[in-house]
Amino acid sequence: MSFTIPLIHKIPIFNRKKSIKPILAQAPSQAVVAVTSSPVAGKRILIVNAGSRKKRIVFEEAVRLGLSITLVHPAARTYADAYVEERLDSTGKSKAEIMQEIEAAHAAQPFAGVITFWEDDVEFTAEIAARLHLIGNSEATAKIARNKYLMRATLRAAGVPVPRAEMVETLNQAKLAAAGMTYPLVIKPMKGMDSFCVMKVENERELEKVFVNVLKYAKYDWTSVVSAADPSMYVIEEYMSGGEVSAEALIQNGQIWIVGIIDKLPMSEPYFIERGDVCPSRYPAEVLQKIKDAAAATIRAIGMENGIAHVELKVTQEGPKTVEIGARMGGDYICDWMETVYGVNLAREGILIALGYPIEMKETAAQIHLRGEYFIPEEDATVKDIVGIDEVKHRPGVRHIYIWAHRGDLLQTPPRGFDTAGWLIVSGQSGEEADKRMAEMRQSVKVLYEPVAKNKGERSDIIQPFRRQTIGFPTEPEQLTFCQITDLVKAKELWESFTCLEKYNSPFLNWDWRAAFARGYGDTHLFLTAENANGETVGLLPLQYVSDRQQWEFFGTYWFEENVFFAPDEVVLR
């Protein structure tokens, strides 16, 4: 089987294909069929947010269990459509409107359970569970898990070791909080995820610069069912020195099973970029027991009674201390790793818990050793080439190569972006064998980059998966920073900030009218913004992708009058 890397460099934005499959070093999975002996076959489950394609395993397990799947998702189409029987599209709708549709669907044919595997929708899923009287996290537990400051306060009150932390909104508040702490410190968005915009502060002199960077770049582009996280509040806390681990747990009726411990490779500071992981953990047995105890204490402290938990901890000289807890399954390859190493499928067990079906766990010795590493650029760059996959894909120990970046894609490094190109996973009968195989594979499989400086001026005619991109115009002193927004709540705010201006006063630019047509015609919505040096939005290009015509068009539809690029300033237009 050969692998072709799609060439998308310099394709005009109105003709670029919407979805390009990632490159895998394995054959596509066979059709997923239900297991006839499933104890929950025929039951109906509501899944909140399909997330990225990395969550495909969730839907495959639900199908194997013989479940009828209803998906609520913030887009007209998603990769998960092949697995679901019913879709509720939350695009452009308020929380009340979405909840009303969910309640109507439940009244017509009751759901047996509700679950999410997407961090940003943990709170809304808990609200659904409470409203429909289904099993899941309580609203209080979900709120604690999503709010890093509230999490710290809750754990400290319960006697769980955590670093000293304060919630701040402004630089002055950050300075006051830091005055009572011991450097180095860490600043992070209060409701962030994936280590995005988590930054280390070595001393007082660095504090203002780092805090300003966090404020500048902590703007989310994740897609949630209700709305994106609010980046306006931050947590400043004392830095914890030591190796980092994650504990993957299942909880049912208050009983906690720590399925496995994963060691994180040393992160790239000061931005805490995750480089990879190894499993099983290589800490000695006595330390592992302390990690398990700390993870279990963390789960109990936030009140988790049923579900999946992903607990991150630092192994300090004083013992394990909790970094944070996710009240959902760990991301990326964690589900696959727990099944490969310990024989436990977290997605399957989590679904059974949500349905109220009793699960049984027993401690199992590791069956194999895994090591995974991400492909990470050292500087802002475009992907030049991806080589070596065909050469190594059949070698012993190569378990998975997943490359989601493509030639021409722009990858940004902190603080502007936290992009990776993919991952490589190898196995061995021992940790040493897995390490050796990884070193060998990294010599062959490479993502080759072209620094952005060498491609200056080539980015204006394509849409790339960037978070932020700054372009200086040689004839003007102004610098513009280009961003993309997929959250329609934020997009509506920006839209109305422009349409209130006299020059854009037209009935054809009414948001509600446009959004109604967009729901009918568009599959994916993308709003490109331009910000000046002061962080003010001075330009907005509203787009939607229409799969029937396989092209990007103006938001609403192409045949509307008054399709405009909002840019009151002539300089911005040029």
pLDDT (0 to 100) of residue 504: 60
When pLDDT is averaged across residues 113-137 and rounded to a whole number, the result is 95
Lowest mean per-residue pLDDT among 154-163, 261-270, 374-383, 511-520: 511-520
Q: Cα separation of 189 and 168, whole Å?
A: 10
When pLDDT is averaged across residues 108-136 and rounded to a whole number, the result is 95
Q: What percent of the chain has pLDDT over 70?
A: 78
When pLDDT is averaged across residues 169-181 and rounded to a whole number, the result is 91
pLDDT (0 to 100) of residue 417: 78
Considering only residues 98 and 91, tell me which one the structure prediction assigns the higher pLDDT: 98
Distances (CA, A) of 117 to 97, 142, 143, 347, 460: 22, 13, 16, 9, 35
pLDDT (0 to 100) of residue 572: 59
List, in sequence order, every beta strand (DSSP E) within 133-198: 165-168, 185-189
Q: Cα separation of 537 and 73, whole Å?
A: 28
Beta bridge partners of 481: 470, 531
What is the distance, to the nearest Å, from the Cα of residue 124 to the centroid of all Cα atoms in its chain? Answer: 16
Residue 454, both tokens: 């060498």
When pLDDT is averaged across residues 263-278 and rounded to a whole number, the result is 88
Amino acid at 232: S
pLDDT digits 0-9 by tens, 198-254: 889 999 888 988 888 887 777 655 567 776 555 568 899 999 999 999 999 999 999
Considering only residues 5 and 118, tell me which one the structure prediction assigns the higher pLDDT: 118
Beta bridge partners of 402: 24, 423
When pLDDT is averaged across residues 115-123 and rounded to a whole number, the result is 92
pLDDT digits 0-9 by tens, 309-356: 999 999 999 999 999 999 999 988 999 999 999 999 999 999 999 999
* pLDDT for residue 571 is more than 60: no
Residue 476, both tokens: 């003007």
Q: Cα separation of 322 and 343, whole Å?
A: 26
Cβ(450)–Cβ(382) below 8 Å:
yes
Candidates 166, 170, 159, 197; CA nearest to 181 is 166
* pLDDT for residue 114 is more than 80: yes
pLDDT (0 to 100) of residue 51: 87
Distances (CA, A) of 471 to 413, 461, 480, 531: 16, 13, 6, 10
**E strand or H helix that includes residue 498:** helix 488-499
* pLDDT for residue 406 is more than 70: yes
pLDDT digits 0-9 by tens, 491-547: 787 877 777 655 565 666 777 767 766 765 556 778 888 877 666 788 888 888 776
334: helix, coil or strand? helix
- pLDDT band, residue 41 (cuts 50/70/90): very high
* pLDDT for residue 443 is more than 80: yes
pLDDT (0 to 100) of residue 474: 35
3-state DSSP of 436-496: HHHHHHHHHCEEEEEEHHHHCCCCCCCCCCCCEEEEECCCCCCEEEEEEECCHHHHHHHHH
* pLDDT for residue 94 is more than 80: yes
Backbone angles phi and psi of 399, in degrees to 5? -95, -40
Backbone angles phi and psi of 364, in degrees to 5? -125, 135
Considering only residues 266 and 246, tell me which one the structure prediction assigns the higher pLDDT: 246
258: helix, coil or strand? strand
When pLDDT is averaged across residues 448-477 and rounded to a whole number, the result is 45
Amino acid at 10: K
pLDDT (0 to 100) of residue 373: 95
DSSP state of 561: S
Q: What percent of the chain has pLDDT over 90?
A: 49
pLDDT (0 to 100) of residue 573: 59
